[in-house]
A and B are shown apart, each in its own frame.
Chain A
């Protein structure tokens, strides 16, 4: 009966006719409030005691039946907090974009709040970001990766420590395409107070435009470059880390190498004991099991043989000429793998509208995509089959085409 009666408390009571009597207060494990008759009526118990009442006793009732200090510890035995095991949430791979994004176009305000909160906090762990997305009802765990990626394309945030942390970027003014005149957008840290201070400046018109799956873009239209510098001077007095990023889209496009240079110089090596992983190789359409020895060049999906219960995949590129595994952004590795497989990206450009259409299967590497987003100050629109980037002037489109060895089809 030990499991059913985990503890008991014995109290001497009266002596009647020379016979000492005792109270036994029993703690009995039972379901809810059902009277444990099965225990109370057991012969072993009946032989030494009989129930006074077949009802639970409270502490006060027990105390009234004793002449000395009640042993609280025994009486309190039944006072337990139920253990509700929290869900085990293992760290996920913030760079796994194999599962497509589920854009939520109704979450504009939540995306804004997320940016303001990140701007106030400054930096945090990946888990904190994920939890913030959950609090804002923006995502399941996997969507948080896409949200962060979109924020990064806009220049608002960066990863730190191989994705274990994030940091907000300093606030800066980014000049968008020349066709727009002195038009800038606000990138990096921003909060309502800052936007209000900019609006109060006077020589600037502030326009806010929505973004698909991201926070609103705040655009600033000036009458002249002098006004831009005046605003920057005022803002730097209040925020010493405020910066003038200039035409960041074009600048970034200019410094980025061609795809081969990106493969050679930007992707960083990582040590992988490939015999500890289940390997699947990208074949242009999907990942398929890879048993080839030696490993061929390409993008691989790895799953740890030791952590089979976790849905955790790693994505790396294998460079056989260096016998090295390389890490980089997911879309970039896939783009590179496709190029190696002879799949040339076909982009469609409409010069009069300055629109660039990128089909889903040719999704650009992150840094190259960032040039397009910074040039426009906006995220691309999602259309059937791919993404449309606005405000892309012909030189920028040509630069991207050249550097990514892509084909540029003129749109109608």
Chain B
């Protein structure tokens, strides 16, 4: 039987492996996820309950001190309480199974069942609100490590932290598969994420569609453009659809399917500009979810190219394989070796690509598919097929976007330094709705960080050379605070009315800071770490061959004579 620590690590890997920095993280832990992890650990799903009870209970009551030390700030390793949070979310997922009303009583019935406690109501030992400290610490952990937290509380109901993590449950996925399978004619083609969400949402309103109440409610509230979790739901729906397509479009979702993952690796585009060779595009493979992929490779023209991890969520781009515009237009499928569940690498054909700058190194000159959508205030590259020219021009004429250069590249059009300028998108009439869906801003406010000197590995800027902070907001007025996380004290608190100006922040002290912008009920946060020069560590240096001269190789000061 696996230990609590092994389950803790495995659940942590399940949640975060393959996730790029910057994205919102959900603890999507339902019974299927537990079954998946159990499969990886070569144990049974029931063992999870066993280890939770053994580790987290004391004298038939929850004892958080066994897994959480308040004030202990270690954000470099998985938190010890992670499996406990997963158990809380598991209860939330189970709560929806039987269509019961959402209430603390209903929630704790399931949670007590998981803990093996014979009590009604809040679990023994878990005082009202005690779990909040764990959720807040988890949110801080995510921010420290470059991710965005998603757990929120509704009112004073603390169990809603767990409920906020439940998007699509196993039952929902099963019903979705059935729906896709029975309506294969409608779902036979390719969908953009927005198109798929809109279609499923519309179908949910039909009386013939038998979606669970949880899913119908979710589609109704969060499936609307502009909803807080619209993108998260769209991503989850798209992943479910993707796996259904990969599995052969069946109607029934068998047990084997329940622990299935997509058998394809997705890839985006990676754009560089070189003074000699001009603009070039390459494949940027995305890491698979849940699976470690350390020795995989891709076959292209009978040559094997290794998949090398470059950062969380991404492999290194294939810089030795420049793409043609025919590849971009028609897509590409390449065989993958070395990952058990993955068969192929797929570049899906698309008529447009949104390519933001590298979020870890905005000044690098590299633009790639790091995110599907642009970030407010951050100029990006938009690559379009000629079919979209009219739509893009319409967006500019409506003052929704702007750009400062357009270039024709082999029939395609590349717009550079594109920015979204307005949050009024509902009235625009274009032919390609997915373009609008991907471009329109999700938030009314944003914080752009640029410049400074950043240690890309740790994500920290160096003292004295912190980032320039620029707040973008559609609102006429917004509030900006800068807090020192070690003291939770606000260092700066400004009420501003001009978007796009640089804030007067010196970054003269090392530490961890949180930038927060608030306007019209929305909030946007960025975590900034400032490191001291004395803490800078050497990077490991990759082996390079060096310049060959008469049997020797010259690399820096080192002359390798081969002796």
Residues of A within 8 A of B462 (CB): 113, 117
Instruction: Please report the C-alpha to C-alpha distance between residue A76 and residue B473 in the assembled complex, in whole angstroms.
Output: 12
- A154 to chain B: closest residue by CB: B557
Q: Is B556 a contact of A90 with CB atoms below 8 Å?
A: no
Report the stretch among A13-21, A169-177, A382-390 that lies at the interface: A169-177
Chain A CB within 8 A of B214 CB: no
Instruction: Please report the C-alpha to C-alpha distance between residue A122 and residue B552 in the assembled complex, in whole angstroms.
Output: 24
Partner of A79, one of B273, B363, B423, B559: B423
Residues of B within 8 A of A305 (CB): none
Chain A CB within 8 A of B260 CB: no
Q: Is B476 a contact of A79 with CB atoms below 8 Å?
A: yes
- Knowing A86-B404, A255-B552, A266-B549, say if A120 contacts B537 (CB, 8 Å): yes
Chain A CB within 8 A of B272 CB: yes
Instruction: Please report the C-alpha to C-alpha distance between residue A265 and residue B549 in the assembled complex, in whole angstroms.
Output: 8
Instruction: Please report the C-alpha to C-alpha distance between residue A314 and residue B274 in the assembled complex, in whole angstroms.
Output: 13
- A270 to chain B: closest residue by CB: B276
Q: Is B451 a contact of A120 with CB atoms below 8 Å?
A: no
Report the stretch among B188-196, B237-245, B452-460 that lies at the interface: B452-460
Chain A CB within 8 A of B377 CB: yes
Instruction: Please report the C-alpha to C-alpha distance between residue A113 and residue B319 in the assembled complex, in whole angstroms.
Output: 30
Rounded to whole Å, the gap between the CB of A38 and the closest CB of chain B is 21
- B280 to chain A: closest residue by CB: A164
Chain A CB within 8 A of B509 CB: no
Give the number of residue pairs across the A-B interface with Cβ within 8 Å. 212
Chain B CB within 8 A of A10 CB: no
Q: Is B499 a contact of A81 with CB atoms below 8 Å?
A: yes
- B456 to chain A: closest residue by CB: A121
Instruction: Please report the C-alpha to C-alpha distance between residue A91 and residue B474 in the assembled complex, in whole angstroms.
Output: 33
Instruction: Please report the C-alpha to C-alpha distance between residue A324 and residue B263 in the assembled complex, in whole angstroms.
Output: 49
- Knowing A189-B541, A245-B557, A248-B557, say if A116 contacts B536 (CB, 8 Å): yes
Q: Mark A82-125, 1 if CB is under 8 A from B, else 0.
A: 11111010111110000000000000000001001101111111
Q: Is A131 a contact of B541 with CB atoms below 8 Å?
A: no
Report the stretch among B30-38, B169-177, B414-422, B483-491 that lies at the interface: B414-422
Instruction: Please report the C-alpha to C-alpha distance between residue A76 and residue B475 in the assembled complex, in whole angstroms.
Output: 9
Instruction: Please report the C-alpha to C-alpha distance between residue A251 and residue B379 in the assembled complex, in whole angstroms.
Output: 49
Residues of A within 8 A of B456 (CB): 121, 124
Partner of B556, one of A92, A125, A169, A265: A169
Q: Is A189 a contact of B539 with CB atoms below 8 Å?
A: yes
Residues of B within 8 A of A93 (CB): 275
Partner of A169, one of B366, B499, B534, B555: B555
Chain B CB within 8 A of A256 CB: yes
Q: Is B538 a contact of A120 with CB atoms below 8 Å?
A: yes
Rounded to whole Å, the gap between the CB of B58 and the closest CB of chain A is 43
Chain A CB within 8 A of B533 CB: yes
Instruction: Please report the C-alpha to C-alpha distance between residue A74 and residue B427 in the assembled complex, in whole angstroms.
Output: 9
Q: Is B557 a contact of A187 with CB atoms below 8 Å?
A: yes
- B402 to chain A: closest residue by CB: A83
Residues of A within 8 A of B539 (CB): 119-123, 168, 189
Partner of A257, one of B451, B535, B549: B549
Rounded to whole Å, the gap between the CB of A183 and the closest CB of chain B is 15
Chain A CB within 8 A of B349 CB: no
Q: Mark A168-194, 1 if CB is under 8 A from B, else 0.
A: 111110100000000000011111111
Partner of B554, one of A91, A193, A241, A252: A252
Q: Is A170 a contact of B556 with CB atoms below 8 Å?
A: yes
Of B417, B457, B547, B554, most buried by chain A (CB within 10 Å of CB) is B554
Q: Is A169 a contact of B451 with CB atoms below 8 Å?
A: no
Q: Is A81 a contact of B377 with CB atoms below 8 Å?
A: yes
Residues of A within 8 A of B555 (CB): 158, 169-170
Residues of B within 8 A of A128 (CB): 361, 363-365
Chain A CB within 8 A of B94 CB: no
Instruction: Please report the C-alpha to C-alpha distance between residue A374 and residue B559 in the assembled complex, in whole angstroms.
Output: 11
Chain A CB within 8 A of B399 CB: yes
Q: Is B427 a contact of A73 with CB atoms below 8 Å?
A: yes
Within 8 A of B (CB), among A18-38: none
Instruction: Please report the C-alpha to C-alpha distance between residue A241 and residue B541 in the assembled complex, in whole angstroms.
Output: 7
Rounded to whole Å, the gap between the CB of A161 and the closest CB of chain B is 8
Q: Is A157 a contact of B559 with CB atoms below 8 Å?
A: no
Partner of B534, one of A192, A241, A252: A192
Rounded to whole Å, the gap between the CB of A58 and the closest CB of chain B is 8
Within 8 A of A (CB), among B395-452: 399, 402-405, 416-417, 419-427, 451-452
Instruction: Please report the C-alpha to C-alpha distance between residue A88 and residue B549 in the assembled complex, in whole angstroms.
Output: 39
Q: Is A136 a contact of B534 with CB atoms below 8 Å?
A: no
Instruction: Please report the C-alpha to C-alpha distance between residue A163 and residue B361 in the assembled complex, in whole angstroms.
Output: 18
Q: Is B538 a contact of A189 with CB atoms below 8 Å?
A: yes
- B462 to chain A: closest residue by CB: A117
Partner of A81, one of B403, B465, B474, B535: B474
Q: Is A193 a contact of B549 with CB atoms below 8 Å?
A: no
Partner of B557, one of A6, A155, A168, A241: A155
Q: Is A79 a contact of B474 with CB atoms below 8 Å?
A: yes
Residues of B within 8 A of A141 (CB): none
Instruction: Please report the C-alpha to C-alpha distance between residue A164 and residue B317 in the assembled complex, in whole angstroms.
Output: 15
Instruction: Please report the C-alpha to C-alpha distance between residue A171 and residue B540 in the assembled complex, in whole angstroms.
Output: 10
Q: Is A193 a contact of B424 with CB atoms below 8 Å?
A: no
Residues of A within 8 A of B551 (CB): 255
Instruction: Please report the C-alpha to C-alpha distance between residue A194 and residue B537 in the assembled complex, in whole angstroms.
Output: 8
Q: Is B405 a contact of A124 with CB atoms below 8 Å?
A: no
Chain A CB within 8 A of B70 CB: no
Rounded to whole Å, the gap between the CB of A313 and the closest CB of chain B is 10
Q: Mark A123-167, 1 if CB is under 8 A from B, else 0.
A: 111111011101110000000000000000011111011111001
Chain B CB within 8 A of A77 CB: yes
Rounded to whole Å, the gap between the CB of B376 and the closest CB of chain A is 8
Of A79, A120, A156, most buried by chain B (CB within 10 Å of CB) is A120
Within 8 A of B (CB), among A213-259: 239, 241, 243, 245, 248, 251-252, 255-257
Residues of A within 8 A of B178 (CB): none
Chain B CB within 8 A of A295 CB: no
Instruction: Please report the C-alpha to C-alpha distance between residue A167 and residue B558 in the assembled complex, in whole angstroms.
Output: 14
Instruction: Please report the C-alpha to C-alpha distance between residue A81 and residue B374 in the assembled complex, in whole angstroms.
Output: 14
Q: Is B549 a contact of A91 with CB atoms below 8 Å?
A: no
Residues of B within 8 A of A124 (CB): 361, 364, 456
Partner of B472, one of A81, A158, A239, A243: A81
Instruction: Please report the C-alpha to C-alpha distance between residue A169 and residue B547 in the assembled complex, in whole angstroms.
Output: 13
- Knowing A113-B453, A193-B537, say if A125 contacts B549 (CB, 8 Å): no
Instruction: Please report the C-alpha to C-alpha distance between residue A94 and residue B421 in the assembled complex, in whole angstroms.
Output: 35
Q: Is B541 a contact of A169 with CB atoms below 8 Å?
A: yes
Chain A CB within 8 A of B561 CB: yes
7 contacts across the A-B interface (CB closer than 8 A): A81-B377, A81-B499, A116-B533, A120-B455, A187-B556, A255-B550, A374-B557
Residues of B within 8 A of A (CB): 272-276, 319, 361, 363-366, 376-377, 379, 399, 402-405, 416-417, 419-427, 451-453, 455-457, 462, 465, 472-476, 499-500, 533-542, 544, 546-547, 549-552, 554-559, 561
List 7 A-B pairs, minimum CB-CB distance, nearest first: A169-B556, A155-B557, A122-B539, A131-B363, A127-B365, A85-B404, A83-B402
